Amino acid sequence: MSNVLTAARPSIAVDCPIRVMIVDDAIVVRRLLSRWIGAEPDMIVTACLRTGRQAVDQIEECDPDVVVLDVDMPELDGISALPLLLRKRRDLVVIMASTLTRRSAEVSLRALSLGAADYVPKPEAVLDAATSVTFQRELIDKIRYLGRRRRIHPEKIAPATSRPVSILERATPHAEVDSFRLRPFASSIPRALLIGSSTGGPQALNSLVGQIGITMERAPVLITQHMPPTFTTVLAEHLTRVSGRSVREAEHDEPVVAGGVYLAPGGRHMRVKRGRDGLPTIALGDDPPINFCKPSVDPMLSAGAEVWGASGLALILTGMGADGTRGAADIATAGGSVIAQDEASSVVWGMPRSVARAGLCSAVLPLSEIAAKINRLFAGDRS
């Protein structure tokens, strides 16, 4: 019999515009972002600054909800300014803006561990940035989602501590409630774990992969994180270090085996298919974005449903939008099971909420409880 789960649901009240501070040493970029943000009816630019030092000095006077912080700047760069900003305003949402270079990817992922809410990759050439619809949409969407989240309960976002904290630590449940039904877990033991994540995903994955070593020994793990090229390369290296196991970007036609952890490379969709010998193999595709994402979670889950059927276990972690819902539906239809991260531990409860509201989940859990549940399921415990 299905259970009814009651979960927190945010109220999206935007009576006051989201206040945004832009910090970038390129005047052309500052003007471009200011024009984009200023054109949104629910946003206002409070300052356009050239250095991190100016941002730290003016943060209290300008009183922003969100800071878009460039990585490379003179005088005080983004990674150095970040902890100083959070020390002054623990509830501040900081979005790192970085180019698609390896160094910028490494700095951006490090910034997430220091308390940045998210990052947005920007084209290296100013002309490319000015004409990039993807860059503009991603920036505006992240400002809106994360800025609204801060507005709901700003007094609860930051714990009583003087150190910089990650946004996962600052996450909190909200007052209103939403209800959805849970499905029973599949009766068969899972043989593959398929994970989808987006905003907040790198932090969640860092926390998760180090705790599912038992599962990794028994089954393959496939991960699609919304990320551009280069960023996924660095993420794989980070996950390898925290898990003590090899995590790498998947390669086309490579076999999918127990103990393997396969990360969808940025800019390519990752699916799985049956090879000539009947064994599952990776299939990378260069087809158009799905749900505005490339890689997208949906094709990975849908393909996984075809290959593993009732033995597939899907996990939807924090992220904006609804990517993963169609694929999760295919997993459920095939008899497999779906777990979603709960709102309280999610940076943005978009993707997990979508699958939960669709009635596709067998459990909706805090991030701190997900690894133990997964390990029990792969050990044959359905309780």
Query: Predicted confidence band at 154 (pLDDT cuts at 50, 70, 90)?
Result: low
Q: Which of 65, 70, 323, 342 is catalytic?
A: 323
174 is an active site residue: no
Residue 176: pLDDT over 80: no
Say whether 177-378 and 18-166 share the same fold. Answer: yes
18-166: what CATH class? alpha beta
Task: Give the span between the Cα atoms of 42 and 20, in whole angstroms.
Answer: 11
Query: What's the whole-model pTM score?
Result: 0.88
Q: Which of 226, 243, 296, 302 is catalytic?
A: 226
Residue 381: pLDDT over 90: no
198 is an active site residue: yes
Task: Give the span between the Cα atoms of 379 and 345, in whole angstroms.
Answer: 25
Task: Give the span between the Cα atoms of 23 and 107, in whole angstroms.
Answer: 16
Per DSSP, the residues of 209-221 read HTT-HHHHHHS-E
Which residue type occupies 44?
I
Residue 275's pLDDT is 84
Task: Give the span between the Cα atoms of 235 and 333, in whole angstroms.
Answer: 32
Contact 289, 168 (CB under 8 A): no
Helix 27-38 and helix 133-152, axial crossing angle in degrees, nearest 10: 60
Sheet order of strands, 261-263 included: 247-249, 261-263, 221-225, 192-197, 312-316, 337-341, 363-365
Contact 281, 250 (CB under 8 A): no
Contact 177, 8 (CB under 8 A): yes
Q: Which of 98, 104, 198, 207 is catalytic?
A: 198
Strand stretches in the chain, DSSP E: 3-9, 18-23, 43-49, 66-70, 93-98, 118-121, 176-182, 192-197, 221-225, 247-249, 261-263, 269-274, 280-285, 312-316, 337-341, 363-365
Query: Predicted confidence band at 166 (pLDDT cuts at 50, 70, 90)?
Result: very low
Report the CATH number of the 177-378 domain.
3.40.50.180
Which sequence spans correspond to the domains of the chain?
18-166, 177-378
pLDDT in tens, 256-309: 999 999 999 999 999 999 988 889 999 999 999 999 999 999 999 999 999 999
pLDDT over 70, % of the chain: 87
Cα 91 off chain centre by: 19
The C-alpha angle with vertex 203 and arms to 199 and 207, in degrees rounded to 5, equals: 140
